[in-house]
Amino acid sequence: MTFSSLYSGKLVLAPMVRSGEIPTRLMALKYGADLVWSPEIVDKKLIKCERVVNEPLGTIDYLEKGGNTKFPGKSNLVFRTLPRKEKGKLIFQLGTANPELAVKAAKIVAGDVDGIDLNAGCPKPFSTHSGMGAALLSTPDLLESILKELVTNVGDSYKIPISVKIRLLDDKDSKPTVDLVHRLCKTGISNLTLHCRTRDMRNRQSPIRTFLPDIIEACRSHKVNFIINGALRNRVEFEEFQNTYGEDIGGMIAEGAECNPTCFSHKPLPWNQVIPEFISIAQSVDNYPGNTKYILLNQLPGKSPFYQKFAQCKSHEQLMEISNTVGEVGNKVLQKYLTKDVLLNPEQEQTDEPTKSSPESKRGTEHLDSFPQKKQKLEATQVA
Ligand SMILES: Cc1cc2nc3c(=O)[nH]c(=O)nc-3n(C[C@H](O)[C@H](O)[C@H](O)COP(=O)(O)O)c2cc1C
């Protein structure tokens, strides 16, 4: 298998800070994700970690040496993987703006993951403030040199592929993005993921797909695999993309999977089945309960009655108790409020009910699109 074929034609879970922790990844894999991306982890943080084999859980843990320096007393777990389930399918996403640090950090995890992805697409201040994420799109020389260093000093020595995730550079003209793609593909990377929005666009804005043929062609000319990202919701839609752009094209889902990690299956589960299974997976890998709750709450609008109930929980047991009351009522709540209800019932799109794809529903989706609001939710619900 070539490095590129690892990604070819795959439907994958996107990197998502907080939301893409191990329970989401395991559930996505169980329900048909071909590969899963870790949340972005920043080079300096990873460098401070030690690798610990967690025998009881069967996981490999990366723990911050000397404890959690940002929140003393809180968990110092930075990254956890369950090789029994993730081996062969886990891409680690790195946040960096420094070639040397990038290599040093990537070497720490290289033996436990199946690829290293460079984040050059996240526009959020926590990423861009030090020149990382989408800020790298404004420093193409640096971006190129990080990728070259990773390919030579990590990819080649550990025999794992290096990839990059970018955004569109311009919403009117394909040339700047196509030119950058050619440059990046020449660094020796195996895959390029394009979030089809510009740095200034928010997730609630429709992605721009008109440049795709040119960008895909550029990748193919270097034998670099291409993954499309942005407003892709489920496997059926992915197959439609493949019909349009070719079977070698991959697809990446973020918010759709955050909302329902079974969306990779041809038949995603309804919410009252997703929730208990998600909690039980989270429990089985000893996930931080505050993180499990955060992900559950991201699936719900604040005004739903279940939001308040979940928000008060402090343990997986309590979350499970509430999830057992969700039933059909919960599914209806979700159908009524949740922007991604189409994931649960694709036929819904044909009815008059507002869905994610209708303008009516878009007016109510802002809470899912912006990190600051999610942060507010988190602050309101943090487990003691
Ligand atoms: C909660 C959340 C966290 C995210 N964290 C990351 C990240 O760590 N790295 C990254 O490259 N993109 C991150 N993104 C962006 C997604 O990977 C993806 O590019 C974007 O949401 C568009 O995909 P979608 O339309 O399927 O949601 C994040 C998105 C969300 C919703």
- Testing ligand 1's pocket by substitution, the residue of 19, 35, 195 carrying the most ligand atoms inside 8 A of its CB is 195
Based on its alpha-carbon atoms, the radius of gyration of the chain, rounded to whole angstroms, reads 20
Neighbours of 347 (CB within 10 A): 7
Full strand arrangement of the beta sheet holding 49-54? 49-54, 59-64, 77-81
Rounded-to-integer distance, Cα 9 and Cα 191, Å: 11
Q: What is the pLDDT of residue 72?
A: 66
Q: Ligand 1 mean position to 280 CA, how many Å?
A: 24
Rounded-to-integer distance, Cα 88 and Cα 10, Å: 13
Coil/strand/helix, residue 149? helix
Q: What is the pLDDT of residue 337?
A: 56
Give the binding-site residues of ligand 1, using a 6 Å CB cut-off: 14-17, 19, 39-40, 93, 119, 121-122, 165, 195, 203, 229-232, 253-256, 258
Neighbours of 86 (CB within 10 A): 23
Token couple for 124: 């959020």
Annotated catalytic sites, by residue?
Answer: 122
- Testing ligand 1's pocket by substitution, the residue of 24, 45, 197, 203 carrying the most ligand atoms inside 8 A of its CB is 203
Token couple for 224: 């670099």
Query: Buried b / exposed e across 187-210, counting CB within 10 Å, b at 16+?
Result: bbbbbbbbbbbbbebebbeebbbe
Q: Is domain 3-259 in CATH 3.20.20.70, yes or no?
A: yes
Q: What is the pLDDT of residue 350?
A: 32
Residues in the chain: 384
Neighbours of 237 (CB within 10 A): 18
Pick the residue whose CA is nearest to atom 16 on ligand 1: 254
Residue pair 277/33 in contact by the 8 Å Cβ criterion: no
Neighbours of 359 (CB within 10 A): 7
- By the 10 Å C-beta count (0-12 exposed, 13-18 middle, 19+ buried), 356 is classed as buried
Q: In a structure prediction context, what are the per-residue pLDDT tens digits for the chain, which is 384 residues long?
A: 577 789 999 999 999 999 999 999 999 999 999 999 999 999 999 999 999 999 999 999 999 998 777 776 677 999 999 999 999 999 999 999 999 999 999 999 999 999 999 999 999 887 888 999 999 999 999 999 999 999 999 999 999 999 999 999 999 999 999 999 999 999 999 999 999 999 999 988 899 999 999 999 999 999 999 999 999 999 999 999 999 999 999 999 999 999 899 999 999 998 889 999 999 999 999 999 999 999 999 877 677 778 899 999 999 999 999 999 888 877 776 666 554 444 444 444 333 222 333 322 332 333 233 333 333 333 333 322
Q: Considering Cα of 210, then 166, then 373, then 343, what sign does the dihedral take?
A: positive
Residue pair 268/262 in contact by the 8 Å Cβ criterion: yes
Ligand 1 nearest atom to the CA of residue 371, by list position: 1
The domain segmentation of the chain, as residue ranges, is 3-259, 271-381
Q: What is the pLDDT of residue 301?
A: 67
Rounded-to-integer distance, Cα 164 and Cα 215, Å: 14
Q: What is the pLDDT of residue 74?
A: 73
